Structure 1
Amino acid sequence: MPESHASDWDRRKFLSAAGGLAAAGLGSTSAAGQPKAEQRTVELDNPRIGDPISQTAKAQGGTPQVPGPPPKKLGYCIVGLGKFSVGQILPAFKDAEHARPVALVSGDRAKSEAVADAYDISKKKIYSYDNFDAIADDPDIDVVYIILPNALHAEFTIRAFEAGKHVLCEKPMATSIADCERMIGAGKQAGKKLMIAYRVQYEPFNIKAIEWARNEHYGPIQFITSETVIEIGGPNQWRLDKKLSGGGSLMDIGIYSLNAMRYLTGEEPTHINAMMHQDNSDPRFSDVEQSIIFQLKFPSGILANCTSSYSTATFNRYAVAFRDGWLKLDPATNYTGHRFFHGTPEKEEQLFLKHVSHFAAEMDHLAQCIKDNKPVKTPGEEGLKDVKYMQKIYQAAREGKTVTAG
């Protein structure tokens, strides 16, 4: 998409069709029943810093910790008011310690005003896509959160950098490698941070799975499987328009499986196989693939088998087979309700962790990194890698042969 402010498409049409970005279809699950466990394992978070004075400390003669002032919250401008923004992102600010919503960008003024009223945002801080660049003169905006169809990510990320703002961008980062590189370059030129919203990398169950996988909790990893499936709904949505989405189920939900294989192993794939299918009798899939299966080989020898599909079912899960045991998240990438199972041939257990809002956690992470001038956990380079690998997956499927991932 060109960098100019004008566009070949009507953005208001995009927003009315958006219904949220890639992750929006992952809010429900039809997971299999819980396996019988011989033991329940419970892990609880440590108390939060800044809790009221500890009565125990006082009773024991210790020095009580008096809560200090609350941290300064950085201002977020939300670009795009589809289902995902309104239903997930904006409500999550109530759980954020370092972030707050201060501005909105939308093509629907009436909707913007209703949302502004709900979140105590000034009507003066409602922008349209045409006057988006005026955010440069708004000192309350520190971060711009891009929640638009994939093909628009590059344009608005670059414009946000030109306005002197940091950027949090939904995944996939863009629809082409070239656009990803332009986004990264614009951020470096502006001296601002670019973070891709890989929310599950900030979610406790996935974080614990990463820890166990990389620390070889049950010995070295042998292989991993992952399946991400959603019921896509009707035909009138941007995800089914390749010009806007960049592809079908792979670009939408398959990226969850791809990214999981990379963050669980801590490695980058060397070889890729793939097969894809689209039902030509279904008009929804005349432009994009319905289903795709891909296999990854990693330098250590780990093999991964992944599936993404638009179907009548909805589920998302992954399983890691170690030499001496296994772990499974089912569901793995929901907004809530994660379940962590693990075991050996002798026993099965379930690990319980406290739920944390992934959305608040990732927005807080970026805000803290800005305040402390530290690198972000999921920068633009992370998004670029996934886009490169997805292009390789499509290539392998088209050519019907193994391709090198590099």
Structure 2
Amino acid sequence: MPLKPDLPHPEPQQRRVGYAIVGIGELSADELIPAARTSEHAYVAALVTSDSQKGNAFARAYDLTEEDVYTYDRFEELKDREDVEAVYIVLPNRLHREYVERAARMGKHVLCEKPLSVNAEDAQAMVEACRAAGVLLMTAYRCQYTPQHWAAREAVQGGKLGPVKLLDAIHGQVEEDPEAWRLRRDLAGGGPLPDVGIYCLNTIRFVLGLEPEWVFATLHQPQDDPRFREVEESMSFMLGFPGGVIANGLTSYGTQKTATLRVLGEQGTVLMDPAYTYQGLSLTISDGHGDFQPKLPDEDQFGLEMDHFAECIRAGKTPWTPGEEGVQDHRIMDALYESARSGRVVRLDRIEGRDVFRGERPQVPGQG
């Protein structure tokens, strides 16, 4: 992985929160560690990896020492690091529960990559472990912290589109490596749905602020492709919301990279294309008088979520996307897989109100 030692280093701040990054894969190397270097409220204090040599290389590049690098069997030694107040779990999905629970027992706050786990039962256990330990748990839903997604949400909920009728979300890419852990059901919990399709599901819930009442899904798992021996290649799903709003989602590991969100109202539309990429998000709002593209900053999404969690730690407030938000997506994904197996609509518990599973609203650049 290429290192990025040339990014500007932020000025030290008295109350910045130190993170231990657990897992130095592509996401950590290319996005998380560089994001923390420009963060306002957070910084990387330690690294946890299976490869000490790799960890030491990153330590040298990012102003850490070899004493700041830990292997997984030394994870509990972080308990004595007062400067490590939070851990960011960036491991295969199946390992999330183990490391979240271990971190909670050490009294460390936890930011965990999406999906929160592999099913709703494990995700709920993670929430309960952190609650019992008195630490915060946040699900890393970076798209709920961008100016573009918040502008889309405000257009939808602020009446600019009139009554919303339909939503359409697509997130697909080609997974070429048949040995990738994301293609192993025991490690991933599923195929593209919990990896890239979750952006469709979570963003639909976010822009509406509502929870679905029923779901329906169908999937395709080719029998002659070694990549998909255990998980689906593609899934199509439908979500039914209060008031008759219907959302359609498509996700796949077999299509050219596509990442879109469209919201259709009686008097206007919202289009995000791309909608889930790390940079270059594009938003167009049509309200019957023409198309409008708000001028919004292209912020570092990982830096925004890390800063928000740091601020919540300092203030003792529930983060905007707490563990409960991750659990709810797992409940829905579990129902989608059940629907795909049975061929039937699956009803969900009706949940009244808006943003029921969310916490303190984040400070988002470009938004009031």
What TM-score does the superposition give when structure 1 sets the normalisation length?
0.82
> 3-state DSSP class of the match of 1:185?
helix
Distance 1:124 1:345 in 2: 60
Q: How far did residue 353 of structure 1 move?
A: 0.8
Q: Deviations over 1:70-93 (max 9, x none)?
A: 452110000000001101100111
> 3-state DSSP class of the match of 1:104?
strand
Greater RCO (CA < 8 Å, at least 6 residues apart) = 1
Q: How far did residue 207 of structure 1 move?
A: 1.0
Does structure 2 retain, via aligned residues, the 8 Å contact 1:184–1:380?
yes
2:252 aligned with 1:298, yes or no?
A: no
Residue among 201, 213, 216 paired with 1:258? 201
Does structure 1 retain, via aligned residues, the 8 Å contact 2:259–2:274?
yes
Residue among 152, 164, 179 paired with 1:221? 164
Residue among 85, 105, 123 paired with 1:180? 123
Distance 2:193 2:314 in 1: 35
Distance 1:226 1:109 in 2: 41
Q: What is the total number of aligned residue pairs between the two structures? A: 340
Distance 2:64 2:335 in 1: 43
2:328 aligned with 1:328, yes or no?
A: no
Match of residue 286 from structure 1: 229
Distance 1:186 1:125 in 2: 26
> 3-state DSSP class of the match of 2:72?
coil
Distance 1:206 1:336 in 2: 13
Q: How does 1:2-401 map to 2 (within 5 A)?
A: 70=13, 72-345=15-288, 347-401=290-344
Q: Deviations over 1:31-66 (max 9, x none)?
A: xxxxxxxxxxxxxxxxxxxxxxxxxxxxxxxxxxxx
Match of residue 25 from structure 1: none
Q: How far did residue 386 of structure 1 move?
A: 0.2
Distance 2:202 2:220 in 1: 21
Stretches of structure 2 lacking an aligned partner (at least 5 in a row):
2-10, 350-368
Does structure 1 retain, via aligned residues, the 8 Å contact 2:165–2:266?
yes
> 3-state DSSP class of the match of 1:145?
strand
Matched AA of 1:98: H
Distance 1:86 1:310 in 2: 23
What TM-score does the superposition give when structure 2 sets the normalisation length?
0.90
Distance 1:165 1:378 in 2: 18
Q: How far did residue 206 of structure 1 move?
A: 0.5
Distance 1:234 1:375 in 2: 38
> 3-state DSSP class of the match of 1:130?
helix
Does structure 1 retain, via aligned residues, the 8 Å contact 2:217–2:237?
yes
> 3-state DSSP class of the match of 1:381?
helix
Q: How far did residue 349 of structure 1 move?
A: 2.8
Q: How far did residue 236 of structure 1 move?
A: 1.4
Q: How far did residue 95 of structure 1 move?
A: 2.2
> 3-state DSSP class of the match of 1:148?
coil
Q: How far did residue 312 of structure 1 move?
A: 3.8
Taking every aligned residue pair, what percent have the same amino acid on both sides? 40
> 3-state DSSP class of the match of 2:95?
helix
Q: Deviations over 1:108-130 (max 9, x none)?
A: 01100001111111211211111
Does structure 1 retain, via aligned residues, the 8 Å contact 2:139–2:323?
yes
Q: How far did residue 273 of structure 1 move?
A: 0.8
- Greater shift, 322-331 or 350-359, is seen at 350-359
Q: How far did residue 279 of structure 1 move?
A: 1.3
Distance 2:167 2:14 in 1: 40
Q: How far did residue 345 of structure 1 move?
A: 4.9
> 3-state DSSP class of the match of 1:223?
strand
> 3-state DSSP class of the match of 1:363?
helix
Matched AA of 2:57: A
Matched AA of 1:239: R
> 3-state DSSP class of the match of 1:103?
strand
Distance 2:237 2:122 in 1: 24
> 3-state DSSP class of the match of 1:131?
helix
Matched AA of 1:362: E
Q: How far did residue 232 of structure 1 move?
A: 1.1
